[in-house]
Structure 1
Amino acid sequence: MDDAAIAGSRPTLLITNDDGIDAPGLRFLVDLLVAADRYRVLVCAPDSDKSGVGHSITWQCALSAKRAEIMGATAFAVSGTPADCASLGISGKLFDGVIPDLVISGINVGCNCGYHVVYSGTVAGAREAFLYGVPALAISHNWKGRKSNVHDLKLAADACLPLINAVLYELKAKAYPEGSFLNVDVPTDVANHKGFKITKQGKFMTRIGWEQTYSNTPALESYQTANMNIDSVSGPANNASSALVEDELLFKRVVIKKNDVEEEEEDTDHRALEEGYITITPLGALSHTEMEGVPYFKSWLMRLAERTSSSSL
């Protein structure tokens, strides 16, 4: 694409995430966008890791927004959730009336395919912007322990830049559809990805169970885990566990099983991701039921009405 196509007026990009404002995925993305010198870059991201909070929002308490130093960008670290950050960032209240042209949530450590979009704070950040009429992308990297390293997140940012520019081009041409936002997942071996592929949301899900534990030491946060290759992890994750109180039981989440890729349908997000594609999945605000279930529930409601009527006689 011709660089002059979007250079006439610098588009404003708002970057958020769920791994926290210090996460390497966000920092690599912001650094890349700033270095391109083609965008106005705003950052409004959680002040700590908010992975897995879904689309939760802060309602009863005021949010704290503190200036953060990110060279070339105007940035705030916010005490709320990813959805809070996206909402505040597009409101015009934080950035002196500026409304972004595009919101980008990520780059997340770990894929967000299939049913995981329900839990994902990364996806929620993009969805929140979409709900209020601002185009949005969620970007995640299919991080895998012992295979991935922090540099992969930088490569993921590089790989997604053409997609970001393509969306901006369509927005400037007023050709971009308003009915969806995009959920983008980058494969583990991003250096050898097979290109972009439009996919549909599948039913992939990592099944989680519970296991009793005798330590309440927090697990390492996702971006801290990713950062272990370049920095030592500090903070509460390294603190010794406190003693159990009497009659207290502790349980931690453990992975039971991941879906088998071979069982997934063609052109679904997770299957294509595992095949090496950068997947682009258009999502809407709502989760729709499978249509084949509708006739059953219509019949069920009729039977319910008949039983209710007969029991009242």
Structure 2
Amino acid sequence: MANAMDWKATSADDRRPVVLVTNDDGIDAPGLRFLVAQLVGARYTVLVSAPDKDYSAVSHGITWRHALRAKRVEIEGATAFAISGTPADCASLGVSGELFDGLIPDLVISGINVGHNSGYHIVYSGTVAGAREAFFNGVPSLAISYNWVGSKSTLDDLKLAAEACMPLINAVVYEVKNKSFPEGCFFNVDVPTDVSHFKGFKITKQGKFFMRAGWEQTTVDTPTLESYQTANISTANTGSSEVSDSVAENQLLFKRVPARIKNEEVEEEETDHRALMDGYITVTPIGGLSCNVQYLPELKTWLEHRLASSL
């Protein structure tokens, strides 16, 4: 990795770096909007290619048989499109050169997601898939998620998460500009719940954390997981709808419910979920589908030097 220097002061290339933002919560999600505002304020050229609706937990699904619709959306300081596809679709189209008149991003950032994506949960994550798809296409990328806790978190925490991640983003852009960002991985970043008091950045490996879900029969179709659409909104207006008698007669309705099964195993040292619970912003190098451990020693040294002056 390159030395701890500011790319803006050292780069011979005066072109502003181009950052593409995507997510899985949808283009209207506050996490994405807060992140875009930070990037615009840092004077990056910002592109947005994000789903036109919530695509949480779709993993790395792609659209193959049908054409995608791209609708221009006004986001101050950015060129933005809402896409009728998955996060992986959005990232793929965004880096293709077709959507933004030949402009290819230097970096793709997927997020900021409501809810952490650590341990085995990266497999389900549409947020991680957006970054992974960029990686598959040879573009450096980050996935950023915030550990939302319903009884504690507010939308202001998502804004703080965007602010807190800017030193890391700037550091990665510097490495990309100097062609020293590792080609064999992308970064999965998780921000702790108490982001205003986070302890620093920590390079971690993917752990085995997994929150199992149970099932229960229901008569109403309501969201089972919190997203930006339900965050801090009164439960009196959840958009629930009673299942009609005719439907109920012909089918059963089941929903996922959290099943907090106690894990007797102690999480390993230096794993993403453990460090996240300890209050760190975790940075996990991911290669394809799992942690790329070969980069851990090098990245730990880089993080210590590169971000020490920013904290």
Distance in 1 between residues matched to 2:261 and 2:129, nearest whole Å:
22
Q: Return the TM-score normalized by structure 1.
A: 0.86
* 2:61 aligned partner: 56
Q: Report the Cα distance in structure 1 between the residues aligned to 2:54 and 2:122, rounded to whole angstroms.
A: 17
CA-to-aligned-CA distance 1:15-40 (integer Å, 9 cap, x gap): 00000000000000001111222x10
Distance 1:217 1:248 in 2: 17
Query: 1:260 offset after TM fit, Å?
Result: 4.6
1:1-313 alignment runs, 5 A limit: 1-2=5-6, 3-5=8-10, 8-37=14-43, 39-219=44-224, 222-226=227-231, 228=233, 237-244=238-245, 245=247, 246-257=249-260, 260=263, 263-287=266-290
- Unaligned stretches of 5+ residues in structure 1: 289-313
Give the structure 1 partner of residue 304 of structure 2: none
Q: Deviations over 1:21-62 (max 9, x none)?
A: 00000000001111222x100000000000000000001111
Give 1:184 shift.
0.2
SS in 2 for 1:42: strand
Residue by residue over 1:78-118, the C-alpha shift from the partner in whole angstroms, topping out at 9 and shown as x without a partner, is 01000000000000000000110000000000000000000
What is the CA-CA distance between 1:141 and the residue it aligns to? 0.3
Amino acid in structure 2 at the alignment position of 1:24: P
Supply the RMSD in Å over aligned alpha carbons.
Answer: 2.0
Within 2, Cα distance between the matches of 1:166 and 1:261? Answer: 38
What SS does the aligned partner of 2:259 have? Answer: strand
Amino acid at match of 1:16: T
Distance 1:219 1:204, change over 3 A: closer
Kindly provide the amino acid, as one letter, of the partner of residue 94 in structure 1: L
The residue identity in structure 2 corresponding to 1:240 is: S
- Consecutive unaligned residues of structure 2, counting only runs of 5 or more, are 292-311
Matched to 1:68, the amino acid is V
Q: Give the distance between the partners of 2:132 and 2:236, measured in 1 at CA.
A: 31
Q: Name the aligned partner's letter for residue 284 of structure 2.
A: T
Task: Give the percent of matched residue pairs that are identical in Structure 1 and Structure 2.
Answer: 68
8 A contact 2:224–2:256 mirrored in 1: no
Q: Distance in 1 between matches of 2:252 and 2:106?
A: 48
Total equivalences in the alignment: 283
TM (norm. structure 2) is 0.86
CA shift, 1:239, in A, is: 4.7
1:228 deviation in Å? 2.6
Q: CA offset at residue 172 of structure 1?
A: 1.3
Cα distance in structure 2, aligned partners of 1:261 and 1:186 = 25
Q: Per the alignment, in what secondary structure is the counterpart of residue 69 of structure 1?
A: strand
